[in-house]
Structure 1
C-alpha cells in the first residue's frame, strides 16, 4: 500500500531539488499568507492537480497544524505519486521561522 511520510518544516525549507507544495487550507487563509511556491489544493482543483502534476516530483501537503494534511497526503499517495509528505506543524509552524507570501 502506498503511503506518505512526515517531513519537518526545516526539511521543507532546505529541500534540495524540485518539489510540489500544496496548501489545503481554506482560500481566505491561503490569500492571507502561504508558503512561497505553494499552490492551493481543494476539491475543485484536485482532479486537475492529479492529472497535471508529475508523479515523480515529491509533493508536500500543508494544512493549518499538520493534522488534516496527513489524510490528504494519504489520498494523494494513493494516486500514484512516488513521494508524498505531510508537513508536521503545518503552516502555523512554518510561519514562525520562514518567509510567508500574501496574495
Structure 2
C-alpha cells in the first residue's frame, strides 16, 4: 500500500516537473507592464471559454478556447508573435505548449492571467 502511494506520488512529481520545464521552454511569461508594451503588435489570443470571454476580455483579443485550439490553430499565424492569456495563466501555458509543438516559437503569456489584469477591458 505504502509502495503504491509512493509510486503514484513519484509519477505526479515527475509529470509536474516535465510540464514545468517544457512550458518554460515553450513560452515566456510577462508581467502586465511587459504584456502591455507588446500585445498590440502581436496576435492576442484569449484561451478561456466563450462565456468567460464575453464576461470581460482584454481589448483587441480573439477568443480561441484551449478546448478548440487544435482544430482552430490555422487561425493563428506561426510567423507572427503570439500573446496568450487565460484566467490564471495555467491554460495559456498549456496552449503555448501545444503551439510550440506545432512549430510556433514567438510565444508569450500574461503571468497571473486575466484575474491580475488592470488594463482596458471589453465586455458584452
Instruction: Give the TM-score taking structure 1 as reference length.
Output: 0.82
Q: Is the Cα contact below 8 Å between 1:18 and 1:57 reproduced in 2?
A: no
Q: Flag as ranges the 4+ runs of structure 1 deviating above 3 A.
A: 43-46
How far the C-alpha of 1:44 sits from its partner, in A, is 3.5
What's the counterpart of residue 123 of structure 2? 102
2:90 aligned with 1:67: yes
Q: Does 1:93 align with 2:79?
A: no
Give the Cα–Cα distance (whole angstroms) in 2 for the partners of residues 88 and 16 of structure 1: 13
- Quick check: which one's helix share is greater? 2
Does residue 34 of structure 1 match 2:57? yes
Specify the structure having the higher radius of gyration (Cα).
2
Structure 2 segments unaligned to the other structure (5+ residues): 1-21
Distance 1:17 1:36 in 2: 9
Q: Within 5 Å, which residues of 2 pair with 1:41-60?
A: 41-42=64-65, 43-44=67-68, 46-48=70-72, 50-60=73-83
1:13 equivalenced with 2:13 (yes/no): no
Question: Is the contact between residue 48 and residue 91 of structure 2 (CA under 8 Å) also seen in structure 1?
Answer: no
Contact 2:42–2:80 (CA under 8 A) maintained in structure 1: yes
CA RMSD of aligned residues (A): 2.0
TM-score, normalising length: structure 2: 0.70
Gaps (5+ residues) in structure 1?
Answer: none
The alignment of Structure 1 onto Structure 2 pairs a total of residues equal to 100
Tell me the secondary structure at the aligned position of residue 28 of structure 1: helix
- 1:37-96 Cα offsets, whole Å, 9 max, x none, are 111112346433x223221211111111112211111111222123011210101111xx
